[in-house]
Amino acid sequence: MASLLPPFLLLLLLPLAASSSYPYGNVSLHIDCGSDHTSADAFNTTWLSDRFFTGGSSSVVSEPLLFPSRHEQNLRSFPPPSSGKKNCYVVPGLPSGRYYLRAFTVYDDYDGRSHPPSFDASVQGTLVFSWRSPWPEDSARRGSYSDLLAFVPDPPAEVCFYSVATDSPVVGSLSLVQVDPLSYDAATVGHGFVLVNYGRLDCGPDNWGPGFTNDTDHFGRYWQSGSDFLSPDSKNNVVLLSTITTISGANQQPNYFPMKLYQTATMTREGPLYYELGVDAKTDYLLWLHFAEIDSKVSGPRQRVFDVVVNGKNLTRVDIFKEVGLLAVYDWHCIVRNLSSTTLNVTLQPVVGVPLISGLENYALVPVDLSTDPEQVVAMRALKESLGVPERMGWNGDPCAPTSWDAWEGVTCHPNKDKTSLIIYQIDLGSQGLKGYISDQINLLLNLVSLNLSSNSLRGTVPSGLGGNVLARLDLSGNQLTGSIPDSLASSNMQLLVLNDNLLEGQVPEGLFTIGVHGGSIDLSANKALCGAPSLPVCSIWENGGLSSGAKIAIGLSCAVAFIMLLLVLYIFCIRRRRNDYDFGLPHELISLAAKRNRYQRQKSLMLLEMESQHAKGLPSPFSPNYQKS
């Protein structure tokens, strides 16, 4: 994106004046970046000591006495070699809503290199500012302010800085103030844009605003004198007007434009009034013009009438008195589309009398960038913690956004199918000195196609469920992973599976055998005790003098099945007994046979006794060979 940085801009916020009529006044935050203690300025703003940063180091500007405010004298820098290319302020606990942000960016040769850095800044994953070396001399020496309006749909609020080349991003102070969510025609413009300030002008003689003067602006806006933006033809042809009279309609929702804005005005002596604002080409702008008829010489309609012409196009005709009368607020705004030049020309062309204006604002409409799918953000942050990703890799903020930056180091992202969010496609963290474990949250990366965590010192197990139907390449080799290989790795899409040089054990899932059959590659060598695959030992039921864990499981399952079958047989047996009322006495035929058999046994016993008796008396036995029957 082209530079979104007018010479007088960058990011910060200041306190809001307390007001019972302003419902958002309790939500504001002001951070003195680089400072180690909390302080208050001359306007009773409390500046918190530096906090919520992801890395970097604190420094002091080289000439502190040049800066009237203490919070302008410190800064935080983010050297890429130690902090990574992407660093952020991640502010927790803020309610969802619209915020006004303003920051102070300063260099002042704090590092003695005489080289103001090149870097980008983003808010909620959308690129909003670009600094390129060399800076304008005054900005490099004394610093610059800039501001914007952005929605924070879900906390935390994130302001991130991205190094260009090897330069170290810097920030001097940062503030956030919640504002009315309907401000600046949000209902029409929508939540899909960040409004970046390209000029907020008061047409009176002075700069003013909270943190710079004691004047009140509920949003904390800084108003710059418009005299610097008059065309050369207009500078010597203007008259300044002012009043202390109350202007009706000021400080009203949703924009809460301050009373002071309408109590001063610029008008010409004769002819048109010209303003020239620097812009970026090929960008849309939201232009606001502020009017109040404070000239008592105008007493009715059609006494001051003029046209508003923007870049040569006549957009509207204004008669302030006709619209709202005397000493009352009248605002008009429009969207200027797709400018082809780097200058926005605003001309007030007289029709009756001479033109008059109180203020002017111009905001670039920066489309909100795609952000990473929320569940995948959760997964990536869990991986950052579990893997122990070092600070030098810059795993901060949104893993994939802004899309114009590189994603987190080692991470590749793509838009999802309907182009509504970004998804994690590939992670390559081989040989990064990681010493943690693989979080189970990795299973939330439903679109992950390739994962390389090889040659680290990871411990723990391979998460159950890793793989699914998408993962095609997995390299976990050269770690200290333990446990078994989960069945989920037997994905039909798996083309490369490298698990060698770990401490894995147990039987290899049968589904993995098909990887090689379908032309893929698999390496399970040099593990503790894997078995059951080609080139690996046959799985045994015995190990270390006892049953293997697999055998124990098999036996346990077999016993459980046998027990269940026994219970099932007993259940069926009992049910059939109740239904058929079986008599377990012997049938009649069986009783008769048993009785006959008993009589036969008694007769045989008597015969044997008789034979023994005859033998004892010397009488021949009927079964003797010498016995003759008479």
Over residues 297-325, the mean pLDDT reads 97
Nearest to 171 by CA among 95, 94, 83: 83
Burial class (CB in 10 A: 0-12, 13-18, 19+), 276: middle
CB 543 within 8 A of CB 552: no
Over residues 294-303, the pLDDT tens digits come to: 999 999 999 9
Contacts of 338 (CB under 8 A, 6+ apart): 282, 283, 284
Q: How far apart are CA 80 and CA 86, in angstroms?
A: 8
**Per-residue confidence band for 19, with pLDDT thresholds at 50, 70 and 90:** very low
Over residues 58-91, the pLDDT tens digits come to: 999 999 999 989 999 999 999 999 999 999 999 9
List, in sequence order, the alpha helices (H) in 284-327: 320-324
Structure letter (DSSP) for residue 597? H
What is the secondary structure of 197-216 as a DSSP string? Answer: EEEEEESSSS-B-BTTBS--
Q: Which two tokens stand for residue 177?
A: 């103030």
The predicted pLDDT at position 585 comes to 42
Q: How far apart are CA 611 and CA 621, in angstroms?
A: 7
- pLDDT of 548 > 80? The answer is no
Give kind and range of the element (H or E) at residue 358.
Answer: none
Angstrom CA distances, 100 to 15, 175, 255, 551, 578, stand at 11, 8, 12, 65, 81
Structure letter (DSSP) for residue 550? H
Q: How far apart are CA 239 and CA 269, in angstroms?
A: 7
Residue 219 CB neighbour total at 10 angstroms? 27
Q: What percent of the chain has pLDDT over 90?
A: 73
The predicted pLDDT at position 154 comes to 87
Q: How far is CA 281 from the centre of its chain?
A: 30
Structure letter (DSSP) for residue 276? E
Which residue in this structure is represented by tokens 């013009």?
289
Q: Which residue has the higher pLDDT, 563 or 354?
A: 354
CB 61 within 8 A of CB 170: no
Give kind and range of the element (H or E) at residue 161.
Answer: strand 157-163
The predicted pLDDT at position 283 comes to 94
- pLDDT of 116 > 60? The answer is yes
Radius of gyration of the chain measured on its C-alpha atoms: 43
Q: How far apart are CA 4 and CA 279, in angstroms?
A: 8
Structure letter (DSSP) for residue 516? H
- pLDDT of 463 > 80? The answer is yes
**Per-residue confidence band for 552, with pLDDT thresholds at 50, 70 and 90:** low
Contacts of 593 (CB under 8 A, 6+ apart): none
**Per-residue confidence band for 608, with pLDDT thresholds at 50, 70 and 90:** low
Contacts of 558 (CB under 8 A, 6+ apart): none
Q: Which two tokens stand for residue 497?
A: 């599976």
Over residues 128-187, the pLDDT tens digits come to: 999 999 999 999 999 999 999 999 998 899 999 999 999 999 999 999 999 999 999 999
| Backbone dihedral region for residue 501 (phi beyond 0: left; psi -120 to 50: alpha; all else: beta) | left
Q: How far apart are CA 419 and CA 411, in angstroms?
A: 19
Which residue in this structure is represented by tokens 């040569």?
312
Structure letter (DSSP) for residue 327? S
**Per-residue confidence band for 29, with pLDDT thresholds at 50, 70 and 90:** very high
What is the secondary structure of 104-152 as a DSSP string? Answer: EE--TTTTSS--PPPEEEEETTEEEEEE-SSPPHHHHHH-EEEEEEEEE
Which residue in this structure is represented by tokens 């930056």?
405
Q: How far apart are CA 108 and CA 457, in angstroms?
A: 43
CB 292 within 8 A of CB 262: yes
As a three-state string, the secondary structure of 391-442 is HHHCCCCCCCCCCCCCCCCCEEEEECCCCCCEEEEEEECCCCCCCCECCHHH
Could you tell me whether strands 422-428 and 450-452 are parallel, antiparallel, or unpaired per DSSP bridges?
A: parallel
Burial class (CB in 10 A: 0-12, 13-18, 19+), 465: middle
- pLDDT of 583 > 50? The answer is no
CB 329 within 8 A of CB 280: no
Nearest to 392 by CA among 437, 452, 432: 432
